[in-house]
Amino acid sequence: MIPQTSFYLLRHGESEANLAGKAAGGGIDSLLTSKGESQARDLAEVIHNLAVKPSMIFVSPMKRARRTAEIVNEGLNLPITVVEHLEEHHVGEWEGQPWGIIGPKMEAGEIPPGGENYDQYAQRVSRVLKPLLSERYETPPLIVAHGGTFRAIGQLYNWDIRRVQNCHLHRFDPSPDLNAFPFKIFEYNVAGIDLRECVSGLCSSVRQR
C-alpha cells in the first residue's frame, strides 16, 4: 500500500527498447528516441498550463526517465530528486528479449532468473513511494518513472493497470470511499489540457484482477 495523498505520475517518453518491442527493465538503460524527446516537449506545455502545477519532481535513476524529467522541467525550474530503486521492473536474464516471448512467462507467474516477479517488484515500488508520499508538499509532486510503476501500484491493491502510454500524465487523488482501489485517476491529453475524470476512480486501462 502507499500513502493516501495526491501525486502526478508519468511514464517516460518512447525509448529505443519501446520502439523495438524489447524488455528493458532495470538492467538496460535504454535512451529516448527522437519521438520520445518530442513527446516530453509536448507534455512540458501541458504541465505549464495545469491549474495545479507540481511542486517538485521525483525521478527514476534510469536515463530515459531522467531525460524526460529534464525536458519537462524546462521553463518550470522545479527541484528534481533522483530516487534510487525507482527503476523499472528487473527481469534479469530476460532483459533485451522481445516482450512477445517473455510476457506470457511473466503472466504465468514465472520469476525471471536474476530478476523479480510482479509481486516482488510491487513491494519494491511500495517501499520507495511510502517515504516520498508521506511528506507534505505545497502541491502534488510529479513522479517520472515507468509503465511498470503504474502496474506495481495496481498490484498492491489487486488491480490490473496496463497499457499506460508513453508521456501521458496522470494524477492520483485519494478517494477513501473507493474500497478496492482508493484513488481517482485523472488523465491529461498530451495535445492540450483535456482532463478526463475516470469513472469510479479507474481509467479505462484499469481492470479488477
Annotated binding site for substrate: 11-18, 64
Beta carbons of 145 and 59 less than 8 angstroms apart = yes
Provide the annotated active-site residues: 12, 88
Query: Where in the chain does DSSP place strands (E)?
Result: 7-11, 57-59, 80-82, 142-145, 159-161, 169-174, 183-188, 195-197, 206-208
Nearest to 182, CA basis, from 169, 199, 200 = 200
Q: Which residues are annotated as a binding site?
A: 11-18, 64
Between 147-156 and 118-133, two packed helices, what is the crossing angle to 10 degrees? 90
